[in-house]
Structure 1
Amino acid sequence: MAINVTPHLNFRGNAREALEFYQTVFGGELVIASYADMGNTDPATADHVTWGQVAADNGFRIMAYDVYPNLPWDRGQNPFFVSVRGTDPEELQGYWERLADGATVRQPIGPSPWAPLYGQLTDRFGVTWVLDIAVEYPST
Protein backbone atom coordinates (compact mmCIF):
# COMPACT_ATOMS: atom_id res chain seq x y z
CA MET A 1 0.00 0.00 0.00
CA ALA A 2 1.23 3.48 -0.79
CA ILE A 3 0.46 6.25 1.70
CA ASN A 4 0.85 10.01 1.59
CA VAL A 5 1.18 12.42 4.49
CA THR A 6 -0.51 15.68 3.52
CA PRO A 7 -0.93 18.90 5.52
CA HIS A 8 -4.65 19.47 6.16
CA LEU A 9 -5.36 23.12 6.98
CA ASN A 10 -8.46 24.29 8.82
CA PHE A 11 -10.27 27.56 8.11
CA ARG A 12 -13.44 29.36 9.09
CA GLY A 13 -15.23 30.12 5.84
CA ASN A 14 -12.28 30.89 3.56
CA ALA A 15 -10.87 27.45 2.72
CA ARG A 16 -11.97 27.76 -0.91
CA GLU A 17 -10.14 31.07 -1.25
CA ALA A 18 -7.01 29.58 0.34
CA LEU A 19 -7.07 26.50 -1.90
CA GLU A 20 -7.56 28.62 -5.02
CA PHE A 21 -4.59 30.72 -3.93
CA TYR A 22 -2.39 27.66 -3.31
CA GLN A 23 -3.29 26.41 -6.78
CA THR A 24 -2.04 29.69 -8.28
CA VAL A 25 1.18 29.34 -6.31
CA PHE A 26 1.97 25.65 -6.87
CA GLY A 27 -0.16 24.73 -9.89
CA GLY A 28 -1.88 21.37 -9.99
CA GLU A 29 -5.46 20.21 -9.84
CA LEU A 30 -8.00 21.78 -7.50
CA VAL A 31 -10.80 19.59 -6.14
CA ILE A 32 -13.44 20.89 -3.74
CA ALA A 33 -16.44 19.23 -2.07
CA SER A 34 -18.78 21.69 -0.38
CA TYR A 35 -21.09 21.08 2.56
CA ALA A 36 -23.95 21.23 0.03
CA ASP A 37 -22.29 18.41 -1.93
CA MET A 38 -22.48 16.35 1.28
CA GLY A 39 -26.16 17.11 1.85
CA ASN A 40 -25.97 20.23 4.05
CA THR A 41 -28.76 22.63 3.03
CA ASP A 42 -27.97 25.45 5.49
CA PRO A 43 -27.53 28.46 3.15
CA ALA A 44 -25.03 30.05 5.57
CA THR A 45 -22.53 27.22 5.11
CA ALA A 46 -23.66 25.25 2.04
CA ASP A 47 -20.84 26.69 -0.10
CA HIS A 48 -18.18 26.16 2.58
CA VAL A 49 -15.57 23.49 1.94
CA THR A 50 -16.05 20.15 3.67
CA TRP A 51 -12.99 18.78 1.83
CA GLY A 52 -10.64 20.31 -0.69
CA GLN A 53 -7.24 19.55 -2.17
CA VAL A 54 -4.62 20.95 -4.48
CA ALA A 55 -2.42 18.22 -5.99
CA ALA A 56 0.42 18.99 -8.39
CA ASP A 57 2.49 16.67 -10.56
CA ASN A 58 5.62 17.75 -8.66
CA GLY A 59 4.31 16.06 -5.50
CA PHE A 60 2.86 19.13 -3.79
CA ARG A 61 -0.30 18.30 -1.84
CA ILE A 62 -2.37 20.38 0.50
CA MET A 63 -5.84 19.71 1.89
CA ALA A 64 -8.22 22.10 3.64
CA TYR A 65 -11.73 22.50 4.98
CA ASP A 66 -13.95 25.02 6.74
CA VAL A 67 -14.41 23.98 10.36
CA TYR A 68 -18.03 23.14 11.14
CA PRO A 69 -19.75 26.25 12.55
CA ASN A 70 -20.78 24.47 15.77
CA LEU A 71 -17.14 23.61 16.59
CA PRO A 72 -14.73 26.01 18.27
CA TRP A 73 -11.93 27.28 16.06
CA ASP A 74 -9.31 29.97 16.03
CA ARG A 75 -5.90 30.10 14.41
CA GLY A 76 -4.35 28.76 17.61
CA GLN A 77 -6.79 25.85 18.07
CA ASN A 78 -6.95 23.03 15.52
CA PRO A 79 -4.85 24.90 12.94
CA PHE A 80 -4.04 21.71 11.02
CA PHE A 81 -4.43 17.94 10.81
CA VAL A 82 -1.97 15.33 9.62
CA SER A 83 -3.81 13.40 6.93
CA VAL A 84 -2.82 9.81 6.11
CA ARG A 85 -4.54 8.53 2.97
CA GLY A 86 -4.14 4.97 1.85
CA THR A 87 -5.58 2.31 -0.40
CA ASP A 88 -5.58 -0.73 1.89
CA PRO A 89 -8.26 -0.67 4.62
CA GLU A 90 -6.51 -3.33 6.73
CA GLU A 91 -3.21 -1.44 6.76
CA LEU A 92 -4.97 1.86 7.51
CA GLN A 93 -6.88 0.20 10.36
CA GLY A 94 -3.55 -0.98 11.80
CA TYR A 95 -2.20 2.58 11.79
CA TRP A 96 -5.40 3.73 13.46
CA GLU A 97 -5.17 1.15 16.21
CA ARG A 98 -1.58 2.09 17.01
CA LEU A 99 -2.25 5.85 16.94
CA ALA A 100 -5.35 5.39 19.14
CA ASP A 101 -3.23 4.22 22.10
CA GLY A 102 -3.70 7.04 24.62
CA ALA A 103 -5.54 9.18 22.04
CA THR A 104 -8.83 11.06 22.09
CA VAL A 105 -11.02 9.77 19.28
CA ARG A 106 -12.74 12.68 17.56
CA GLN A 107 -14.48 10.59 14.86
CA PRO A 108 -14.42 6.79 15.18
CA ILE A 109 -13.00 5.08 12.13
CA GLY A 110 -15.66 3.78 9.77
CA PRO A 111 -17.51 4.51 6.54
CA SER A 112 -18.37 8.14 5.76
CA PRO A 113 -20.21 9.95 2.94
CA TRP A 114 -16.86 10.86 1.35
CA ALA A 115 -14.70 7.81 1.98
CA PRO A 116 -15.16 4.06 2.53
CA LEU A 117 -13.08 4.38 5.72
CA TYR A 118 -12.49 7.60 7.69
CA GLY A 119 -11.49 8.44 11.25
CA GLN A 120 -10.04 11.30 13.24
CA LEU A 121 -8.19 11.31 16.54
CA THR A 122 -5.88 13.49 18.60
CA ASP A 123 -2.91 11.47 19.75
CA ARG A 124 -1.38 11.59 23.21
CA PHE A 125 1.05 14.27 21.96
CA GLY A 126 -1.74 16.62 20.89
CA VAL A 127 -1.41 15.98 17.13
CA THR A 128 -4.70 15.48 15.29
CA TRP A 129 -4.61 12.74 12.67
CA VAL A 130 -7.13 12.07 9.90
CA LEU A 131 -6.93 8.59 8.35
CA ASP A 132 -8.94 7.63 5.31
CA ILE A 133 -9.11 5.56 2.16
CA ALA A 134 -8.44 7.70 -0.90
CA VAL A 135 -11.24 8.02 -3.47
CA GLU A 136 -11.50 10.02 -6.69
CA TYR A 137 -13.40 13.30 -6.68
CA PRO A 138 -14.39 15.29 -9.77
CA SER A 139 -12.34 18.39 -10.55
CA THR A 140 -13.94 21.81 -10.20
Structure 2
Amino acid sequence: MALTTTTHLNFDGDARAALDFYGQVFGAEPVVVTYAMAHSADQVDDPERVIFGQVETAAGFRVMAYDVQHGRAYDPGQHPFYVSVRADSEDEARGIWDRLSVEATVVTPFGPSMWSPAYGMATDRFGVTWFVDVTPQG
Protein backbone atom coordinates (compact mmCIF):
# COMPACT_ATOMS: atom_id res chain seq x y z
CA MET A 1 0.00 0.00 0.00
CA ALA A 2 1.35 3.43 -0.95
CA LEU A 3 0.55 6.44 1.17
CA THR A 4 1.27 10.06 0.34
CA THR A 5 0.54 13.40 1.94
CA THR A 6 -0.20 16.55 -0.01
CA THR A 7 -0.20 20.14 1.21
CA HIS A 8 -3.65 21.64 0.60
CA LEU A 9 -3.72 25.44 0.61
CA ASN A 10 -6.91 27.38 1.30
CA PHE A 11 -7.52 30.80 -0.24
CA ASP A 12 -10.22 33.45 -0.45
CA GLY A 13 -10.17 34.12 -4.18
CA ASP A 14 -6.45 33.68 -4.97
CA ALA A 15 -6.32 29.92 -5.57
CA ARG A 16 -6.15 30.13 -9.38
CA ALA A 17 -3.38 32.76 -9.32
CA ALA A 18 -1.44 30.76 -6.71
CA LEU A 19 -1.77 27.52 -8.70
CA ASP A 20 -0.65 29.29 -11.89
CA PHE A 21 2.39 30.66 -10.04
CA TYR A 22 3.30 27.29 -8.50
CA GLY A 23 2.86 25.66 -11.90
CA GLN A 24 5.43 28.08 -13.32
CA VAL A 25 7.81 27.58 -10.38
CA PHE A 26 7.75 23.78 -10.55
CA GLY A 27 7.21 23.34 -14.30
CA ALA A 28 3.76 21.74 -14.32
CA GLU A 29 0.37 22.63 -15.73
CA PRO A 30 -2.19 23.34 -12.97
CA VAL A 31 -5.46 21.41 -12.91
CA VAL A 32 -8.29 23.75 -11.97
CA VAL A 33 -11.98 22.99 -11.43
CA THR A 34 -14.22 25.96 -10.68
CA TYR A 35 -17.37 25.91 -8.59
CA ALA A 36 -19.33 26.51 -11.83
CA MET A 37 -17.68 23.51 -13.51
CA ALA A 38 -18.60 21.35 -10.50
CA HIS A 39 -22.22 22.58 -10.56
CA SER A 40 -21.69 24.17 -7.14
CA ALA A 41 -21.89 27.85 -8.13
CA ASP A 42 -24.47 28.47 -5.39
CA GLN A 43 -21.72 27.94 -2.77
CA VAL A 44 -19.77 31.10 -3.68
CA ASP A 45 -20.25 34.69 -4.85
CA ASP A 46 -18.02 34.10 -7.88
CA PRO A 47 -18.64 30.76 -9.65
CA GLU A 48 -15.16 31.00 -11.24
CA ARG A 49 -13.52 30.50 -7.85
CA VAL A 50 -11.61 27.22 -7.50
CA ILE A 51 -13.31 24.23 -5.84
CA PHE A 52 -10.39 21.90 -6.69
CA GLY A 53 -6.92 22.73 -7.89
CA GLN A 54 -3.63 20.91 -8.07
CA VAL A 55 -0.11 21.20 -9.41
CA GLU A 56 1.73 17.90 -9.77
CA THR A 57 5.10 17.21 -11.38
CA ALA A 58 6.53 14.02 -12.84
CA ALA A 59 9.18 14.17 -10.08
CA GLY A 60 6.47 13.77 -7.42
CA PHE A 61 5.92 17.34 -6.18
CA ARG A 62 2.24 18.03 -5.50
CA VAL A 63 0.31 20.90 -3.95
CA MET A 64 -3.46 21.39 -3.88
CA ALA A 65 -5.52 24.55 -3.40
CA TYR A 66 -9.06 25.86 -3.39
CA ASP A 67 -11.12 28.96 -2.54
CA VAL A 68 -13.28 28.62 0.57
CA GLN A 69 -17.04 28.65 0.08
CA HIS A 70 -19.85 30.75 1.63
CA GLY A 71 -20.17 30.45 5.38
CA ARG A 72 -16.71 28.98 5.85
CA ALA A 73 -14.43 31.28 7.78
CA TYR A 74 -11.12 32.13 6.16
CA ASP A 75 -8.22 33.31 8.29
CA PRO A 76 -4.69 32.56 7.14
CA GLY A 77 -3.47 33.09 10.71
CA GLN A 78 0.11 33.60 11.78
CA HIS A 79 2.45 30.82 10.63
CA PRO A 80 -0.24 28.10 10.44
CA PHE A 81 2.09 25.89 8.37
CA TYR A 82 5.16 25.91 6.13
CA VAL A 83 5.71 24.02 2.90
CA SER A 84 9.09 22.33 2.63
CA VAL A 85 10.68 21.44 -0.72
CA ARG A 86 13.84 19.34 -0.57
CA ALA A 87 15.91 18.92 -3.73
CA ASP A 88 18.66 16.41 -4.49
CA SER A 89 21.13 19.03 -5.69
CA GLU A 90 22.03 22.60 -4.88
CA ASP A 91 21.45 23.61 -8.51
CA GLU A 92 17.93 22.19 -8.45
CA ALA A 93 17.17 23.86 -5.10
CA ARG A 94 18.62 27.17 -6.33
CA GLY A 95 16.39 27.08 -9.43
CA ILE A 96 13.28 26.48 -7.31
CA TRP A 97 14.36 29.20 -4.87
CA ASP A 98 14.99 31.71 -7.64
CA ARG A 99 11.52 31.19 -9.10
CA LEU A 100 9.66 30.89 -5.80
CA SER A 101 11.22 33.96 -4.19
CA VAL A 102 10.03 36.37 -6.91
CA GLU A 103 7.95 39.05 -5.14
CA ALA A 104 8.40 37.13 -1.88
CA THR A 105 9.49 38.28 1.55
CA VAL A 106 12.76 36.50 2.20
CA VAL A 107 12.89 35.25 5.79
CA THR A 108 16.24 33.45 5.48
CA PRO A 109 18.41 34.08 2.40
CA PHE A 110 19.37 31.01 0.39
CA GLY A 111 22.73 29.67 1.54
CA PRO A 112 24.49 27.04 3.66
CA SER A 113 22.84 25.90 6.90
CA MET A 114 23.75 23.58 9.77
CA TRP A 115 21.74 20.70 8.25
CA SER A 116 21.96 21.33 4.53
CA PRO A 117 24.44 22.53 1.91
CA ALA A 118 21.82 25.14 0.95
CA TYR A 119 18.61 26.38 2.57
CA GLY A 120 16.30 29.36 2.27
CA MET A 121 12.93 30.45 3.65
CA ALA A 122 10.52 32.91 2.02
CA THR A 123 6.88 33.93 2.25
CA ASP A 124 5.43 34.22 -1.24
CA ARG A 125 3.00 36.89 -2.42
CA PHE A 126 0.08 34.61 -1.48
CA GLY A 127 1.18 34.46 2.18
CA VAL A 128 2.53 30.90 2.01
CA THR A 129 5.90 30.35 3.71
CA TRP A 130 8.25 27.93 1.94
CA PHE A 131 11.49 26.18 3.00
CA VAL A 132 13.74 25.17 0.12
CA ASP A 133 16.77 23.05 0.93
CA VAL A 134 19.07 20.30 -0.33
CA THR A 135 19.01 16.74 0.92
CA PRO A 136 21.95 16.40 3.33
CA GLN A 137 24.68 14.04 2.12
CA GLY A 138 26.06 11.41 4.41
Q: Deviations over 1:53-104 (max 9, x none)?
A: 0001111100000011311111118x67xxxxxxxxxxxxxxxxxxxxxxxx
SS at match of 2:13: coil
Letter aligned with residue 39 of structure 2: G
Sequence identity percentage:
49
Aligned to 2:2: 2
Number of corresponding residues = 79
Corresponding residue number in structure 1 for 2:49 = 48
Tell me which protein shows more strand as a share of its residues: 1
Q: Given the alignment of the two structures, is residue 69 of structure 1 paired with residue 43 of structure 2, yes or no? A: no
| Residue 27 (structure 2) aligns with | 27
Q: Distance in 1 between matches of 2:10 and 2:41?
A: 21
Q: Which runs of 5+ in 2 are unaligned?
A: 82-138
Structure 1: 5+ residue stretches without partners: 81-140
What's the secondary structure of 1:39's corresponding residue?
A: coil
User: 3-state SS of the aligned residue for 1:29?
Assistant: coil
TM-aligned CA deviation for residue 41 of structure 1:
3.3
Cα separation, 1, equivalents of 2:71 and 2:27: 33
1:1-140 equivalent positions in 2, closer than 5 A? 1-42=1-42, 44-76=45-77
Q: CA RMSD in A?
A: 1.9
Tell me which structure has the larger Cα radius of gyration: 2
Does structure 1 conserve the Cα–Cα contact (< 8 Å) formed by 2:53 and 2:66?
A: yes
Q: Which has the higher contact order (CA 8 A, sep 6+)?
A: 1
Deviations 1:8-46 (A, max 9, x none): 000001100000000010112311111011112348321
